[in-house]
Amino acid sequence: MGSVVSYFEQLCGKEEKREEERHLRANDRPFNLSYHYTNNAIKTSKYNIFTFLPRNLFEQFRRLANAYFLFLMVLQLIPQISSLSWFTTAVPLILVLSITAVKDASDDINRHKSDNQVNNRIVNVLIDGELRKEKWMNVQVGDIIKLENNQFVTADLLLLSSSEPLNLVYVETAELDGETNLKVKQALTVTGEMGDSIDALAGFNGEVRCEPPNNRLDKFKGTLTLNGQTYSLDNDKVLLRGCTLRNTEWCFGLVIFGGPDTKLMQNSGKTTFKRTSIDHLMNVLVLCIFGFLASMCSVLAIGNAIWEVKEGSVFTAFLPRDSGVGAALSSFLSFWSYVIILNTVVPISLYVSVEIIRLGNSFYIDWDRKMYYPKNDTPAQARTTTLNEELGQIKYIFSDKTGTLTQNIMTFNKSSINGKAYGELFDFAGQRVEITEKTDRVDFSWNPLADPKFIFHDHSLVETVREGNPKAQAFFRLLALCHTVMPEEKKEGELYYQAQSPDEGALVTAARNFGFVFRSRTPETITVVEMGRQVTYELLAVLDFNNVRKRMSVIVRSPEGKLILYCKGADTIIFERLHPSCKKLMEVTTGHLNEYAGEGLRTLALAYKDLDEGYMKEWQQRHHEASTAMEGREERLDELYEEIEKDLQLLGATAVEDKLQDGVPQTIEQLAKADIKIWVLTGDKQETAENIGYSCNMLREEMKEIFVVAANTAEGVKEELQNARRKMCPEAAEKPSVITARAGLFWLQKTQSVQDEKVDGEYGLVINGHSLAFALEKNLQLELLRTACMCQTVICCRVTPLQKAQVVQLVKKYKQAVTLAIGDGANDVSMIKAAHIGVGISGQEGMQAVLSSDYSFAQFRYLQRLLLVHGRWSYLRMCKFLQYFFYKNFTFTFVHFWYAFFCGFSAQTVYDEWFITLYNLVYTALPVLGMSLFDQDVNDRWSFQYPQLYTPGQLNLYFNKKAFVRCLMHSCYSSLILFFIPWAAMQDTVRDDGKDIADYQSFALLAQTCLLVVMNIQLCLDTYYWTAVNQFFVWGSLAAYFAITFTMYSNGMFLIFTSSFPFIGTARNSLSQPNVWLTIFLTTLLCILPVVAFRFILIQLRPTINDKVRHKVQKEALPAPAPRRPPTRRISTRRSGYAFSHAQGYGDLVTSRRFLLKLPLRSRPALFSQTDSPLAQNQPQFYRTIAEEQEESKSS
């Protein structure tokens, strides 16, 4: 009932008061209800049972043609002007409205089901001092709820307590941002002390004041007041709806935001009614056609008035006029009569046919086996049927990174140890061997603690380690000791690592397999099994990672009493701190690093240093003083870290691959050839995003320059953008030229567009989230757009979901180009909804993006097939259909117009009434549908071979206003031939027996036969790709015409329905005459020959890309599938360390004295409940240099 009341409140204009601050009290429902906060129910559907009919009909009658047919039906109810029955329009109109309404209702019922499924999930809620099972939708703000392992988080919660040490909880945010690595949240100590005591929790009466509902996923500000004390709250203490609880037996949370107020729903954006550019164009064209129709009817009405005055008076003796009907009234009535007769210029079957074509092309996407992903049993899915042809016009693609381009799985690929590179295979001739899934793998069975999922191919590295090479062993010892990973051992020897980032997990797993197994840790020790021997190191200090240091170190004491500092970090940072004796080794390692970076691998340098006992004691004392200082603590610690991390000895470097999804670089290359610009909008750090940019060929070494915009002020951002633009295009005007125009229905819509500026060479642009926030402000957004559009590739890092949508809307507004957004997490939903077309990747990262998308599939690589094959074909078919449909209907209608001059403008039809009824319904419906469903200029292989075939769609060359005018002129010419040739040929003709042939009925039959033959031959000329179905439809419709005509004009039909079938014997009398067939042949020839000649000359003088490729197709064999080629090896000077994907603060956590609470020993659950996820079972990437297989999800 509440929703109905709120609906009427909206109608009456009652505005909701904007919330400025949220104030709530735990366990006090009456207090919280007084603020009228929304409950936890969500609603993504558009209609309910009361609003469906009015809203749906309103949406449908916004289509001008539907409104026009309603008007036409009303006209046909007036007997004075109607020469056709009212139901000829009413039945098709009701049919069209019903089909569309059923489709809309079905879509919305699915949304209701999805909502109900979520709203009816069960959760434990603390009510009146006891835990009760409640539905999600009944949870209120201020309730305390209990979550258990692997449960979804019900609402946005303030974490109160948990089963883990230090009140930590581990959450997976895949539904929010597509990332599968675990995030850590921590409750306040004051609330954590309550544990799972129901009495303590029921007596908890803390008051929370915090920010109002908003869509910022990474920020939260608030305070908790308890027993007169105020505690500050931040994002680390909040669990967001859409997360999943992992590795945590239970936790309790206080509901802060529910349902539509949660950050997940605030980011979901508004459901908009998407329509294609062809839909908008058709609305404008239909309006033009109405104007054209009105002018034709006006000409004929004036003609009627003149004829009535000059000639009509002669006929009044035989046909007396009705009383009071003069020339003026007769003219007025004939105007409306002609509106009814000439209405076929906009036939209702056009819209039915368009929907059928779109539905058919959607089924092709659903049925395409080449877009089916067998590992997850996921087919491609067209979730909407109204946008297919827009897939053939995409100019800009906005893509998420994590989970869309990458799998978010890290694999240890290569390493450089003491100047020797490992990880590649060579044959006896010293030639590099490509690694495939059949390549022999290293056998780790000698190591009982090895991870069975780990794959490595270079046997020499294992041999080096097992031989006891001190440098190789020190290398893996460092990887086993220098990290912040938490181990779990459920059963003896069954280890699981809780890595804060997937790259750390990959390195520790690599060390584990090569015989240096990280087994357990306490705040003071690290236990490692080294080549089968258990060794416990004393952990003296963790020098934590941060974004400035770009490295982390640990200081340990070995059982022999030796003090060692182990350090890993970005190579540029480590190399600055090396001992001069490492110079030669550094040069060799730099060569290896350049090679790895050139292959898009994430590189990291490793070094160590032996420490003196006396110095260490004195340093520890200073470290203790600095860490307890009240002022300048950070600076003092940094100085100490700098001091000790000097004169390091280089051990080598690691190279880890952030596994791209299969085929991503090739897909991006293909789309770039099709002149589609790809922008990556990611929440990841800049270095990580850049790294992926290189590995998937978006950023390339051969680019002239890659601009990085990272300023922290609006002025700084403006300066950086302008400098970049001036470098790319020095002669460009300082101020952008914005072209204002009018578009849309009645030209009421104002459009602004910024023209593309030509640039020599290729450039890339990388912009940070905080800089993007300034760049999206009104005074800077055009500067951002100009600079970004000059670049071949744009990467935006640290972007919020709202910024993603803003970037898409900016391009939509000023570029007048078709946009596509592709993503896999809830953080991509607003971007998917903002773009013209939204594509969801249905992987393991949740279904939030898929539910909001228009198309979905399992792998990014299917995007090229969706656009270059299905999209292009859909666009081509739709344009051909519209051109042919308007041509055949205009021609049909113009013949009526010419005939009016010969029938006294009396609104008599030139054709038999039955032909008028069946022309669009039977005789021409199936052939044009056959062409529109099966036609293709070239097959899918050639479409991939020549991505440039996609370009005409972006420029909208196949159907636009010019093409429509050409179609009109062609129709005008054809109709003149189709009317005047039969008229002239039959005017004075007699039959073989000397009888007259030139009666109205014979002429009508001849005109309609000529028309149908010409229409079918024109269709044959337009068809590129013939199938048995096309042949059947074309010849079948002609056969059906002659069969129906002979039946209807037979004596039997006349005797049964005398008034309905007056054309008795016309068919057999006329079609038995040779001169009638000669006339049909002559008319057809005169209509078709100019078209053939014009097309021939055009292909010779100005061939299009389609003409060239089709010519090539006839000459050459089918192109072979793309070969499995290894990527070209290139040396790069750009490197990235993945210390970057760590977060600050983990060092303090692992060395904390309160790290382990005194809890009874219990078996901990696995990192992921489903260890063999489909993603973990991924096959190797056959086209890449180094192929890896299953990497267990835990290492991600």
E-only strand ranges, 848-949: 855-857
DSSP letter assigned to residue 431 = P
Q: Which of 177, 261, 368, 400 is catalytic?
A: 400
Instruction: Residue 207: name the closest of 24, 33, 27 by CA.
Output: 24
CA 844, CA 1175: separation in Å to the nearest integer? 7
How many residues would you count in the chain? 1196
E-only strand ranges, 355-418: 381-382, 394-399, 406-417
**What is the token pair recorded at 1124?**
């499995």
For residue 952, the tally of other CB atoms under 10 A from its CB is 19
Instruction: Residue 686: name the closest of 820, 578, 547, 779 by CA.
Output: 547
Element containing residue 158 per DSSP (H, E): strand 156-162
| Partners of 819 in beta bridges | 396
CA 1012, CA 1042: separation in Å to the nearest integer? 11
CA 657, CA 409: separation in Å to the nearest integer? 8
CA 119, CA 824: separation in Å to the nearest integer? 22
| Partners of 432 in beta bridges | 426
CA 551, CA 412: separation in Å to the nearest integer? 19
Indicate the SS3 state at residue 526: strand
Distance (Å) of CA 119 to CA 40, 253, 453? 8, 19, 39
Strands 677-681 and 432-433: unpaired
Specify the amino acid at residue 770: H
Instruction: Residue 847: name the closest of 862, 861, 832 by CA.
Output: 832
**What is the token pair recorded at 71?**
């008007």
Residue position matching structure tokens 């060569």: 591
Contact 486, 521 (CB under 8 A): yes
CA 235, CA 252: separation in Å to the nearest integer? 16
CA 912, CA 985: separation in Å to the nearest integer? 20
CA 526, CA 643: separation in Å to the nearest integer? 24
| Cα 326 to chain centroid, rounded | 64
Contact 406, 661 (CB under 8 A): yes
**What is the token pair recorded at 937?**
């200029």
Indicate the SS3 state at residue 636: helix
CA 905, CA 299: separation in Å to the nearest integer? 10
DSSP letter assigned to residue 345 = G
| Partners of 604 in beta bridges | 654
Strands 394-399 and 818-823: parallel
Which residues, 6 or more positions from 657, have their beta carbon under 8 angstroms from its beta carbon? 410, 411, 413, 600, 601, 602, 695, 1186, 1188
CA 903, CA 334: separation in Å to the nearest integer? 12
For residue 700, the tally of other CB atoms under 10 A from its CB is 15
CA 20, CA 16: separation in Å to the nearest integer? 12
400 is catalytic: yes
Indicate the SS3 state at residue 806: helix
User: Got the DSSP string for 563-591?
Assistant: EEEEEEE-HHHHHHTB-GGGHHHHHHHHH
For residue 54, the tally of other CB atoms under 10 A from its CB is 10
Cα 66–Cα 72–Cα 75 angle in degrees, nearest 5: 150
DSSP letter assigned to residue 373 = B
Which residues participate in catalysis according to the annotation? 400
